[in-house]
Amino acid sequence: MTTDQPAAPRAELGVIGGSGLYALLEDVTEVRVDTPYGAPSDALFIGGVAGRRVAFLPRHGRGHGLPPHRINYRANLWALHSLGVRQVLGPCAVGGLRPEYGPGTLLVPDQFVDRTSGRPQTFYDGLPLPDGTLPEVVHVSMADPYCPAGRRVAVEAARAAGWEAVDGGTLVVIEGPRFSTRAESRWFAAAGWSVVGMTGHPEATLARELGLCYTSLSLVTDLDAGVESGAGVTHAEVLEVFARNVDRLRTVLFAALEHLPATRDCTCSHTLDGVTTGLPGVPGA
């Protein structure tokens, strides 16, 4: 493994997730990227998957030291974009809000609801960058926040691996790092939402602002506090279930990476058509 290459290698695809998802790759190049928004969660690890160049970024850092509300989401997405990434998969651990979405369920959401607070969630905040660049104010559509092509590929990859993936549903994103109260959990379920997590926003929003395709693969590690009686979810339980499913999730991710379209023509890819953002390199090819 090499570090801090003077000329950063390029990648076409990106994965934001834990280090266990790229642990089996060979010939991995570690790249550190500076961004106008500070440092990403960690170095990016670039390797090959089925003949395609993929950049893996540990969302919480290598040692899982960053809680959800302290992740530098803007730097993470900017770093991936700057290396050439245009399609991103975002696996994450979530709690199930319905009894049928128990531990081990894989859900590929088509909607999210933002219940976070205080997270920088846009590149277009009207403030100058450190180099004095003043971005335009840009309003992007988030009616359908996830890439339709990426979602289709992810569901097909999961089912080909024998995983009965749930096609569609709503991910409600909470601030964290605490878990939901029973009242909150019952409220989310009563609203018709499917799963609850802490990292899906603003990842999807920032990806859209850069014209990237973003697909969430939400692995249910527990039933949330209001779904059933008992002590409620614990951190140890989440880690145990995720570890039990990481090999299968990695198989699905690698298959999805292989089959993501080589040429984009989805709605995400046209988000910034005709728009002058003022951001260096955005929109990019």
Instruction: Indicate the pairing of strand 213-223 with strand 106-108.
Output: antiparallel
Whether residue 147 contacts residue 213, with contact meaning beta carbons closer than 8 Å, is answered with yes
Residue 14 token pair: 């990106």
Residue 38 token pair: 């500070």
Nearest to 254 by CA among 160, 138, 133, 185: 160
> In angstroms, rounded to a whole number, what is the distance separating the alpha carbons of residues 150 and 166?
14
Whether residue 31 contacts residue 46, with contact meaning beta carbons closer than 8 Å, is answered with yes
Strand partners, 174: 115
Catalytic residue among 34, 222, 265, 273: 222
Residue 17 token pair: 């997730």
Nearest to 38 by CA among 99, 120, 113, 126: 120
Collapsing DSSP to helix, strand or coil, 49 comes out as strand
> In angstroms, rounded to a whole number, what is the distance separating the alpha carbons of residues 40 and 72?
6
Identify the DSSP state of 110: S
Instruction: Indicate the pairing of strand 44-49 with strand 52-58.
Output: antiparallel
> In angstroms, rounded to a whole number, what is the distance separating the alpha carbons of residues 89 and 94?
15
Instruction: Calculate the alpha carbon distances from 182 to 97, 124, 146 in Å.
Output: 11, 36, 28
Catalytic residue among 4, 42, 125, 224: 224
Give catalytic status of residue 224 as yes or no: yes
Give catalytic status of residue 222 as yes or no: yes
Active-site positions read 222, 224
